[in-house]
Structure 1
Amino acid sequence: MSSATYKILLPISIMVLWMCCIKASRELQENEEIPALMAFGDSILDTGNNNDLISVLKCNFPPYGMDFIGGKPTGRFCDGKVLTDLIAEGLGIKETVPAYLDPNLQSKDLPTGVCFASGGSGLDTLTSSLTSVISMSDQLKNFKEYIGKLKGVVGEEGANKTISNSLFLLSAGNNDIAIIYLDTPSRAFQYDVPTYTSLLVSWTSTFIKDLYGLGVRKIGVLSTLPLGCLPIIRTLHGGPMRFCGDNANRAAQLFNSKLLAEVNSLNSSLPQAKIVYVDVYNPLLDLIKNPVKSGFRVPERSCCGTGLFEAVILCNQLTPFTCDNVSEFVFWDSAHPSERAYRTMTPPILQDLKKSFS
Structure 2
Amino acid sequence: MEIKHLLNASITALCIFIFIQQVQQISATAATTKGKAPAVLIFGDSNVDAGNNNAIITMIRCDHSPYGQNFPHHLATGRFSNGRNPGDMIASLLGIKDYVPAYLGTNLTEYDLLTGVSFASGGAGYDPLTSELVQVLTMDDQIKMFKEYKQKIKAIVGEKTAEEIISKSLYVVVSGATDLANTYFTTPFRRNYDLSSYVQLLVQFASKFYQDLYDLGARRISVTSMPPIGSLPSQRTNAGGIERNTVPLYNQAAVMYNSELLKETQRLNKTLHGVSIVFQDSYTPILDMAQRPSAYGFEVTDRGCCGTGIFEITLLCNSYTSEPCKDPSKFLFWDTFHLTEKGYTILINELVARYGLNVG
Q: Same fold (TM over 0.5)?
A: yes
Structure 2 partner of 1:290: 292
Equivalent-residue separation in structure 2 for 1:173 and 1:52 (angstroms): 22
Q: Which residue of 2 aligns with 1:242?
A: 244
- 1:146 is matched with 149
For residue 224 of structure 1, report the CA deviation from its aligned partner. Answer: 1.1
1:81 alignment partner in structure 2 = 84
Residue number among 183, 201, 206 corresponding to 2:186 in the alignment = 183
1:262-293 per-residue CA deviation (whole Å, 9 max, x = no partner) reads 01000000000000001111111111000100
For 2:319 and 2:34, how far apart are their aligned partners in 1? 41
In the other structure, the counterpart of 2:340 is: 338
State whether residues 222 and 358 of structure 2, in contact with CA within 8 Å, keep that contact through their aligned partners in structure 1: no
Report if aligned partners of 1:232, 1:334 keep a CA contact under 8 Å in 2: yes
Which structure is larger by alpha-carbon Rg, 1 or 2? 1
Tell me, what secondary structure is at the counterpart of 2:70? Answer: coil
Taking the aligned partners of 2:95 and 2:321, their CA distance within structure 1 comes to 37
Name the amino acid aligned to 2:42: A
- The SS at the match of 1:284 is helix
Question: What letter corresponds to residue 336 of structure 1 in structure 2?
Answer: H
Q: 1:32 to 1:250 in 2, by over 3 A?
A: closer
Q: CA deviation at 1:70?
A: 1.1
Measured in 2, the distance between the counterparts of 1:29 and 1:340 equals 35
Q: Which amino acid aligns with 1:227?
A: I
- Measured after TM superposition, the shift of residue 341 of structure 1 is 0.4
Q: Is the 8 A contact 2:170 2:358 kept in 1?
A: no
For 2:357 and 2:119, the matched residues in 1 are separated by: 25
Q: How far is the alpha carbon of 1:31 from its aligned partner?
A: 7.3
CA contact (8 A) 2:309 2:335 kept: no
Match for residue 161 of structure 2?
158
Identity of aligned residues (%): 44
Amino acid of the residue matched to residue 350 of structure 1?
V
Structure 2 Cα separation of the partners of residues 181 and 115 of structure 1: 26
Shift of residue 311, structure 1, vs aligned partner: 8.1
The DSSP-based 3-state class of the residue aligned with 1:357 is coil
Of stretches 345-354 and 305-314 in structure 1, the one that deviates more from structure 2 is 305-314
1:43-122 equivalences in 2 (<5 Å):
43-122=46-125
Name the SS for the 1:330 alignment partner: strand
Residues 171 and 76 from structure 1, CA distance in 2 versus in 1: closer, same or farther, beyond 3 angstroms?
A: same
**C-alpha distance in 2 between matches for 1:251 and 1:302:** 23
Classify the secondary structure of the residue corresponding to 1:183.
coil
How far apart are 1:215 and its partner, in Å? 0.7
Q: Is 1:274–2:276 an aligned residue pair?
A: yes
Q: Secondary structure at the match of 2:52?
A: coil
Contact 2:313/2:337, CA 8 A, preserved across alignment: no
TM-score (norm 1): 0.89
Deviates more, 1:315-324 or 1:147-156: 315-324
Scaled by the length of structure 2, what TM-score is found?
A: 0.89
Counterpart amino acid of 1:339? Answer: E
Q: What is the deviation of 1:348? A: 2.5
Name the amino acid aligned to 2:324. Answer: T
TM superposition shift of 1:91: 1.3
After superposing the two structures, state which structure 1 stretch, 97-106 or 29-38, moved more. 29-38
* Residue-pair matches, total: 333
- Secondary structure of the equivalent of 2:158? helix
Aligned-residue offset at 1:245: 1.1
Moved more, 105-114 or 135-144: 105-114
Partner residue, 2:10: none
Where does residue 193 of structure 1 map in the other structure? 195
SS at match of 1:275: strand
Q: 1:101 to 1:32 in 2, by over 3 A?
A: farther
The Cα shift of 1:165 comes to: 0.4
- Aligned twin of 1:225: 227
The equivalent residue for 1:7 is none
Aligned equivalents of 1:33, 1:239: Cα separation in 2: 48
Tell me, what secondary structure is at the counterpart of 1:33? coil
Aligned-partner residue type, residue 131 of structure 1 = V
2:315 and 2:172 mapped to 1: Cα distance? 23
- Give the 3 Å change call, closer, same or farther, for CA 71–307 of structure 1 in structure 2: closer
Unpaired runs of 5+ residues, structure 1, are: 1-24
What per-residue deviation string (whole Å, max 9, x for no partner) do you get for residues 314-355 of structure 1? 512333331000000000000000000011111122234536
1:323 and 1:356 mapped to 2: Cα distance?
Answer: 36
What's 1:10 paired with? none
State the 1:247 CA deviation. Answer: 1.8
**Aligned match of 1:253 in 252, 255, 259?**
255
- Note if contact 2:80-2:338 (Cα within 8 Å) is conserved in structure 1: yes
The alignment's C-alpha RMSD in Å is: 2.0
Out of 216, 220, 224, which is 2:218 matched to? 216
Q: Secondary structure at the match of 2:53?
A: coil
Pick one of 35, 39, 46 that aligns with 1:36: 39
Determine whether 1:324 maps to 2:313: no
**Structure 1 contact 31–92 (Cα < 8 Å) conserved:** no
Distance 1:31 1:318 in 2: 50
